[in-house]
Amino acid sequence: MPDALLGMELPELHGALARVAGQDQPKYRARQLYSALYRQKIGDVREAAVLPADLRAGLGDLALGLPEIDHVYNSIDGTRRYLLKLADGRTVETVLMPETGRDTVCISSQVGCPVDCRFCMTALMGLERSLTAGEIIGQVLLVARDNHLSIESGNFNIVMMGMGEPLLNLTNVLKATRILCDPEGVGLSEKRITLSTSGIIPKIAELGQAEVRPKLAISLNASTEEQRREIMPITRKYHLRDLLDACRAYPLRNWEKLTFEYVLLGGVNDSDADARRVARMLGQLKAKVNLIALNPGPGIPFVTPAPERVASFQEIVKRALPCFVRKPRGLDIYAACGQLKRNEPLVALG
């Protein structure tokens, strides 16, 4: 793949400028380019009006690295699912969920996913490759441009909950986060970015050491070791007990809480006894729980629990810690959690 400008931090931009225009480039040129890429959010190097014309022409040979829109699916609830084409022709999905007063963009960190959770459609793809930092940022910039959203408005959130396991691409995820949160870059607050993981324990500790990092969400999804092993086989490698230890050891910032996500699978992990175990397991943590009733899909051998079951589960967990039910978004266009699987023909869900 040719070097793309998006995803580069200052020293790399300086190097790229030196390569196209010679070593004698003044230092501030890299800063101007950085600002054009991430503040001004240019769609083409030619739009970087602060740079001299000959420099822009020289840079024209370098790809900006913004993904291309292959297709947009619009849901009746306002959710928009973007199928984006990357430089190597592979495609990835990004979802915009507009709400009154705020917009949330759900971005992908990998093409496919190597973790084989039994309830997730992305798992069926396997892993094709990890995304670069530029491809991670590019999803945000593209969706913001396409919908005229102002990222600095204070009403813009990013969740790294699309395709892929972000902690298996931590270097690029952290680089993207630094640029997204840099006041000279995209300018978003760390409080507005959340990363969700299936529980890659050593990487949780590494994330905790990063100076600039998203908030952490853990996909818990089970109330016992055995149950989690069945539905998330990665538990054989990273045990639930050790995952909870890693959560207890995680260095939360004073404004931060852990989020635990729990996908409710009818008759599997949704009983009152499960809810009581979850309450006991998490009650001592500075945390909240988000319940998600299974979003169904072809090839997923589970059923969605009845709303009364979800309500009863929530009621029990709520006695120990805050617990919310996440409404599915974009179900009709396969944009909801666990449904991202590229080009899936749009058959109506029953």
Q: Which residues are at the interface with ligand SF4 (CB under 6 A)?
A: 113, 115, 117, 120, 122-123, 164-165, 198, 338
Candidates 5-13, 34-42, 223-231, 288-296; binding stretch for ligand SAH (CB under 6 A):
288-296
Q: CA 80 → CA 75, 131, 302, distances in Å?
A: 6, 21, 26
Identify the active-site residue in 68, 93, 128, 261: 93
| Bridge partners of residue 289, in order along the sequence | 260, 323
- Picking from 305, 269, 297, 267, the residue whose alpha carbon sits closest to that of residue 122 is 297
* Residue 110 is a binding residue for ligand SAH (CB under 6 A): no
Closest CB to ligand SF4 among 103 and 165? 165
* Residue, CB closest to ligand SAH: 338
Buried b (16+ CB within 10 A) or exposed e, 68-104: eebeebebebebbbbbbebbeebbbbbbbbbeeeebb
* Residue 93 is a binding residue for ligand SAH (CB under 6 A): no
Closest CB to ligand SF4 among 228 and 277? 228
Farthest-apart Cα atoms in the chain, separation: 69
Closest CB to ligand SF4 among 157 and 235? 235
* Residue 131 is a binding residue for ligand SAH (CB under 6 A): no
Residues in Cβ contact with 131 at an 8 Å cutoff, skipping those fewer than 6 apart: 86, 92, 108, 109, 110, 111, 164, 169, 172
Closest CB to ligand SF4 among 79 and 108? 108
* Binding residues for ligand SAH, total number by CB under 6 A: 17
- Picking from 167, 108, 112, the residue whose alpha carbon sits closest to that of residue 137 is 108
> Is the distance from CB of 45 to CB of 62 less than 8 angstroms?
yes
Closest CB to ligand SAH among 17 and 240? 240
Whether 226 is catalytic is no
Pick one of ligand SAH, ligand SF4, none as the site partner of residue 123 (Cβ within 5 to 8 A by kind).
Answer: ligand SF4
Query: Which pairing describes strands 102-106 and 91-99: parallel, antiparallel, or unpaired?
Result: antiparallel
* Residue 198 is a binding residue for ligand SAH (CB under 6 A): yes
Pick one of ligand SF4, ligand SAH, none as the site partner of residue 221 (Cβ within 5 to 8 A by kind).
Answer: ligand SAH
Residue 329 to residue 209: CA distance in whole angstroms: 33
> Is the distance from CB of 224 to CB of 277 less than 8 angstroms?
yes
The neighbour count for residue 191, using CB atoms within 10 Å, is 13
Tokens found for residue 125: 């793809």
One of 75, 94, 104, 196 touching ligand SAH (CB under 6 A): 196
Whether 120 is catalytic is no
Site string for ligand SAH, 253-282 (x = CB under 6 A): --------x-x-------------------
Sites for ligand SAH among residues 150-169 (CB under 6 A): 161, 165
Identify the active-site residue in 135, 247, 337, 344: 337
Give contact residues for ligand SAH (rule: CB under 6 A): 119-120, 161, 165, 196-198, 219, 221, 261, 263, 292, 294-295, 300, 337-338
Task: Give catalytic residue positions.
Answer: 93, 337
